[in-house]
Amino acid sequence: MNYRSPLLNVMTGAALKAAKGLIRDFGELEQLQVSKKGPADFVSRADHKSESVLRSELKKARPAYGLLMEESGERAGTDTSNRWVIDPLDGTTNFLHGIPHFSISIGLERDGEPYAGVIYSPIADEMFVAERGGGAFLNGRRLRVSGRRNVEEALFATGIPFLGLGDHGLFLKQLGAVMAVCTGVRRYGSAALDLAWVAAGRFDGFWENGLHPWDITAGIVLVREAGGFVSDLSGGRKMFSGGGVLASNAALHEPLVALVGSAARAPATAP
Ligand code: IPD
Ligand code: CA
Ligand code: CA
């Protein structure tokens, strides 16, 4: 078991340090309705603070690695094999609304492939970790994806596109196809945690169109190390080039690809 490997220690240490600031800021949000610039500006500062803590902690421990960060973009490293892929606050809308479901996601890409992942949910104090070949763990307990085999018993998660972003018509068709045949569909608002929860067997599968590398790199390692499958929405490998992400267990991965894919081919419903 390597859930306490030196690499994962570095990653969890950085996540815990950045989380302290997020927890403090989350607690202060209530006071902010009166502030001049308003809560959105405050949250964006919390986000940037978290990213700068993560950047300096990870740089200190592995000075040569490159970085890809949601807020400050890409910084090449002298070690061209290793790159951190970071979302300092995933679930920003939840955070802004005082909903305690948000996370810090730190992925490590090695030679272009997801290699290690840490996703931390500060308010729940749940630390999800995985390193290739070493298994996936939640607070030190080994994780397995769910064992459900039938779509009718499955609980899936997704992400809903919103104002000004994404293909709303396509998503509604995907949702229509999936919701008609399964136990339920959830939209919790942190894609990183959605993937971690698939790894933990809480969700039987997850799909979302058009996510970014920082939303998914850590989660991909978690799902795979927990025995699950991750692909783009057509079952291929284009998760990092606009293909969307679909994750599930061995039995439900193909059926979910078929359902989501059938939506892409379905004609629009009459108004
Ligand atoms: C968002 C969350 C959300 C997903 C969005 C993401 P952010 O990330 O992961 O669940 O549906 O597509 O952009 O903006 O909170 O870091
Ligand atoms: Ca995100
Ligand atoms: Ca973010």
Q: For atom 12 of ligand 1, which residue has the closest CA?
A: 211
CA 90 – ligand 1 centroid, Å: 6
Residue with tokens 């499958």: 229
pLDDT at residue 9 greater than cutoff 50: yes
- Can you tell me whether residue 12 is helix, strand or coil? helix
Work out the end-to-end distance of the chain between its first and last CA atoms, rounded to an integer number of angstroms: 55
Cα 160 to ligand 1 centroid, rounded to whole Å:
9
**Cα angle vertex 219, ends 210, 192, to 5°?**
65
CB proximity list for 70: less than 8 A, separation 6 or greater:
51, 86, 87, 88, 212, 214
Is the distance from CB of 3 to CB of 137 less than 8 angstroms? yes
DSSP string for residues in 56-113: HHHHHH-TTEEEEETTTEEE--SEEEEEEEEEEEE-HHHHHTT-S--EEEEEEEETTE
Give me the residue label for tokens 């070690």.
Answer: 79
Predicted pLDDT of residue 224:
98
pLDDT above 90 covers what percent of the chain?
Answer: 83
- CA 248 to CA 2: how far, in whole Å? 24
Distance 270 CA to ligand 1 centre (A): 30
Measured from the Cβ of residue 34, the count of other Cβ atoms closer than 10 Å reads: 6
Tokens of 229: 């499958």
Residues whose beta carbon lies within 6 Å of some atom of ligand 1: 87, 90-92, 159, 189-191, 208, 211, 215
Look at residue 1 and tell me whether its pLDDT is greater than 90.
no
Q: What is the pLDDT of residue 144?
A: 98
Residue nearest to atom 7 of ligand 1 (CA): 90
**Which residues in the chain are classed under CATH 3.30.540.10?**
6-142
Question: Of all atoms in ligand 1, which is nearest to the CA of residue 211?
Answer: 12
Residue among 69, 92, 158, 207 whose CB has most ligand 1 atoms within 8 A, to mutate: 92
CA of 267 to the centre of ligand 2 (A): 31
Residue ranges of the chain assigned to CATH 3.40.190.80: 151-265
pLDDT digits (tens, 9 = 90+) for 93-137: 999 999 999 999 999 999 999 999 999 999 999 999 999 999 999
Distance CA 52, CA 270 (A): 49
* Residues surrounding ion ligand 2 at CB below 5 Å: 87, 90, 215
Global pTM exceeds 0.85: yes
pLDDT 10s digits, 128-176: 999 999 999 999 999 999 999 999 999 999 999 988 888 899 999 999 9
Check if the beta carbon of residue 18 is closer than 8 Å to that of residue 102: no
**Residues β-bridged to residue 141:** 138
Give the number of the atom of ligand 1 that is nearest the alpha carbon of residue 92: 15
CATH code linked to domain 151-265: 3.40.190.80
Distances (CA, A) of 46 to 8, 29, 72, 177: 24, 10, 14, 38
The continuous run of DSSP H or E covering 262 comes out as helix 253-265
CB 227 within 8 A of CB 241: no
Listed in sequence order, the DSSP H helices in 2-91 are 6-28, 39-61
pLDDT above 60: residue 270: no
Averaged pLDDT score across all residues of the chain: 93
Ligand 1 atom 16 nearest Cα: 90
What is the homologous superfamily of the domain 6-142 according to CATH? Fructose-1,6-Bisphosphatase, subunit A, domain 1 (3.30.540.10)
Q: Ligand 3 centroid to 91 CA: how many Å?
A: 7
Residue 83 β-bridge partners: 66, 109
**pLDDT tens-digit profile of 68-87?**
999 999 999 999 999 999 99
Q: Residue 2 pLDDT > 70, yes or no?
A: no
**Ligand 1, pocket-test mutation among 26, 71, 90, 94, most atoms within 8 A of CB:** 90
Atom of ligand 1 at shortest range from CA of 91? 15
